[in-house]
């Protein structure tokens, strides 16, 4: 793709009635990919499972955009184990006639769990310096490279201060086939959706104990992929997260030659969806100069203000429960009861989800996305459509009326969106985002929406209701919220409500 080509990918992978029903996809269970990346010749380094529980109220931790200013608690294997378990770990297993289902800490499209975590760290009290892969299947680390390689990450991120001062850098990746088996070309969207829900957990778990955790999207892709020894035809780095602060500047990194490590095959056969890799190439950064130019925020935009009277959000409910126990019972709701929820609950969930992210291109007050809500059954709030005024802490009415039937259709005809108490959409005006950040700005818009969507997931369960992520008919959603949403693109959707009793 040429510059601007990510728009071509985005448009080509939009769902419409014609694309969904005209291109039916039948899953080939004989080649369903393995849900884990498994190194066969590296010794596992077991992680402890005796986690301590934080004491910060859960909604405060979820809403925290990244306020930690001190170095945070010391990082060791126990601290890393807590972060990894509650963001990417296996919480439950269920057997069925064809095999076993693994339920992870964060939601993932199709429960296919194609996002992996790696650590690049200095020497910690009980872990040698090195590059490590996290294996959820046995809850262990495997060292890919010995030595302190943080300098390679600092160089790749063009000296990003948070990366330079972090004792540990977490890198997330996606293995395309593990998701494309079901979702085909649209998988490159799912990379960011599923990375975002994982990072929502990670950021909340870090915030609960005052650990600085800063997501960074600006880096030289080839350099990070080479350090992790990734086969970039299949797996690529998505994001960096600087964990902790106050570490001395890392030394020059050792060389990162190819490792040639053996892996268990994902399946007997893989299907290569070229548009995924073309879109990845279009959104990659080639050198440190491009990374430095990328860094910054989106300038403030003029926004259309609807003529209706703003509805100020209510007070945030007090929830003393810690983030860890909420994650342990989080699921994805399969059916909603058509029952109302209190306005204070909607207010608390939206406020926790949308207070912003702090990162190299993320900052509160400079959101890349706008939040739209379809209200079906919320006490003391008229059914209809609204747009969130983040700065004014209010919902701005767009259109009054009952839209359950329309909401179900917009979500690919899924009853969940029609039966929920409210549906929350994230839309982005891509033109200014791409003008400021180039094609990589699309990654940022998708990831911001997914992090906030992941936070809404957590907030809903903290408040005693359910939530689920859904997909959508792209252009019909834009039309539905227009004229206010004209020229915007849909990034993410979460439906929330009371789960139906079984």
Residue 4 has pLDDT above 70, yes or no: no
% of the chain surpassing 70 pLDDT: 99
C-alpha distances in Å from residue 433, one per residue of 329, 369, 494: 36, 9, 23
Six token digits for residue 361: 């291109």
pLDDT for res 1: 37
Q: Retrieve residue 203's tokens.
A: 């950021």
pLDDT class of 303 with cuts at 50, 70, 90: confident
> How many contiguous H segments (helices) and E segments (strands) does the chain have?
18, 16
Q: Is 456 exposed, middle or buried (0-12, 13-18, 19+ CB in 10 A)?
A: buried
Q: Look at residue 306 in the predicted model and tell me its pLDDT.
A: 85
pLDDT at 3 over 80: no
Let me know the angle formed at the C-alpha of 157 by 428 and 6, rounded to the nearest 5 degrees.
35
pLDDT tens by residue, 406-448: 999 999 999 999 999 999 999 999 999 999 999 999 999 999 9
- The packing angle between helices 343-353 and 440-462, to 10°, is 140
pLDDT tens digits for range 156-213 = 999 999 999 999 999 999 999 999 999 999 999 999 999 999 999 999 999 999 999 9
Mean pLDDT of 83-101: 88
Band (pLDDT 50/70/90 cuts) for residue 101 is confident
Q: How far is CA 370 from CA 194, 348, 403, 425, 468, in A?
A: 19, 18, 20, 8, 19
SS3 189: helix
Using alpha carbons, select from 212, 195, 35 the residue that is nearest to residue 111: 35
- For the four alpha carbons of 440, 441, 442 and 444, in that order, the dihedral sign comes to positive
- What stretch(es) of the chain map to CATH 3.40.109.10? 5-14+27-294, 311-497
Whether the predicted pLDDT of 115 surpasses 60: yes
Quick one: pLDDT at residue 392? 94
- The backbone torsions φ and ψ at residue 344, rounded to the nearest 5 degrees and listed phi first, read -60, -30
Question: How far, in Å, CA of 295 to CA of 166, rounded?
Answer: 18
Predicted pLDDT at 2: 42
Determine the 3-state secondary structure of 196 from DSSP: helix
| Section 335-351 average pLDDT | 97
The reported pTM is: 0.97
CB atoms within 10 A of CB 470: 19
pLDDT tens, residue by residue, 245-261: 999 999 998 889 999 99
- Of residues 109 and 97, which shows the higher confidence score? 109
Residue 208 near residue 56, CB atoms below 8 Å: yes
Across the chain, what does the average pLDDT equal? 95
Q: For position 96, what pLDDT does the model report?
A: 74
Contact 361, 293 (CB under 8 A): no
> Residue 300: its pLDDT value, please?
80
Encoded tokens for 217 = 């999207």
pLDDT of residue 301: 76
Written as six digits, the tokens of 371 are 């939040």
Residue 11 makes CB contacts below 8 A (sequence gap 6+) with: none
Q: Is the pLDDT of residue 302 over 90?
A: no
The CB-side HSE value for 488 (13 A sphere, CA atoms) comes to 27
Residue-wise burial string across 145-174, b where 16 or more C-beta atoms lie within 10 A, e elsewhere: bebbbbbbbbbbbbebebbbbbbbbbbbbb
Q: Are strands 115-121 and 311-312 parallel, antiparallel or unpaired?
A: unpaired
Tell me the average pLDDT across 88-115: 89
Regarding the domain with residue range 5-14+27-294, which homologous superfamily does it belong to in the CATH classification? NADH Oxidase (3.40.109.10)
Q: Write the Ramachandran bin of 42: left for phi over 0, alpha for psi from -120 to 50, otherwise beta.
A: beta
Architecture per CATH, domain 311-497, reads as 3-Layer(aba) Sandwich (3.40)
Residue with token string 């059914």: 383
The sign of the dihedral angle between the CA atoms of 211, 290, 354, 336 is: negative
């Amino acid at each position: 793709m040429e510059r601007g080509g990510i728009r071509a990918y985005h448009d080509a992978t939009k769902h419409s009635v014609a694309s969904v029903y005209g291109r039916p996809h039948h899953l080939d269970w004989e080649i369903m990919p393995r849900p884990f990346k498994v190194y066969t010749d590296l010794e596992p380094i077991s992680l402890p499972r005796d986690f301590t529980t934080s004491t910060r109220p859960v909604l405060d931790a979820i809403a925290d955009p990244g306020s930690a200013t001190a170095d945070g608690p010391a990082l060791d294997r126990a601290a890393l184990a807590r972060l990894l378990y509650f963001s990417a770990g296996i919480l439950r297993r269920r057997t069925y006639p064809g095999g076993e289902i693994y339920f992870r800490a964060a939601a993932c499209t199709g429960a296919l769990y194609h996002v992996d975590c790696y650590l690049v760290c200095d020497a910690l009290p009980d872990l040698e310096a090195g590059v490590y892969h996290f294996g959820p299947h046995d809850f262990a680390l495997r060292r890919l490279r010995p030595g302190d390689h943080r300098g390679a990450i600092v160089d790749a991120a063009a000296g990003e201060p948070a990366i330079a001062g972090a004792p540990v850098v977490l890198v997330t990746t996606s293995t395309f086939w593990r998701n494309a088996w079901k979702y085909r070309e649209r998988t490159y969207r799912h990379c960011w959706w599923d990375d975002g829900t994982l990072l929502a957990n990670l950021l909340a778990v870090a915030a609960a104990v005052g650990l600085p955790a800063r997501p960074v999207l600006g880096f030289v892709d080839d350099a990070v992929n080479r350090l992790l020894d990734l086969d970039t035809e299949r797996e690529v780095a998505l994001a960096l997260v600087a964990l902790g602060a106050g570490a001395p500047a890392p030394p020059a990194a050792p060389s990162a030659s190819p490792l040639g490590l053996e892996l268990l095959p994902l399946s007997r056969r893989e299907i290569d969806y070229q548009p995924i890799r073309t879109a990845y190439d279009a959104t990659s950064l080639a050198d440190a100069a491009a990374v430095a130019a990328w860094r910054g925020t989106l300038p403030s935009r003029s926004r259309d203000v609807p003529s209706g009277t703003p509805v100020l959000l209510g007070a945030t409910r007090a929830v003393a429960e810690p983030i860890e126990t909420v994650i342990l019972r989080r699921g994805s709701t399969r059916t909603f009861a058509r029952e109302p929820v209190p306005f204070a609950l909607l207010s608390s969930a939206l406020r926790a989800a949308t207070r912003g992210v702090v990162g190299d291109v993320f900052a509160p007050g400079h959101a890349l996305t706008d939040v739209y809500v379809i209200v079906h059954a919320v006490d003391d709030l008229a059914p209809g459509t609204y747009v969130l005024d983040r700065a004014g802490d209010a919902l701005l009415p767009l259109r009054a009326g009952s839209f359950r039937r329309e909401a179900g259709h917009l979500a690919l005809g899924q009853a969940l969106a029609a039966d929920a108490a409210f549906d929350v959409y994230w839309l982005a005006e891509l033109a200014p985002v791409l003008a400021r950040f180039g094609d990589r700005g699309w990654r940022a818009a998708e990831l911001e929406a997914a992090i906030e969507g992941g936070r809404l997931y957590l907030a809903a369960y903290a408040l005693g209701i359910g939530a689920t992520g859904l997909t959508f008919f792209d252009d019909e959603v834009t039309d539905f919220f227009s004229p206010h949403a004209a020229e915007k693109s849909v990034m993410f959707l979460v439906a929330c409500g009371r789960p139906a009793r079984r």
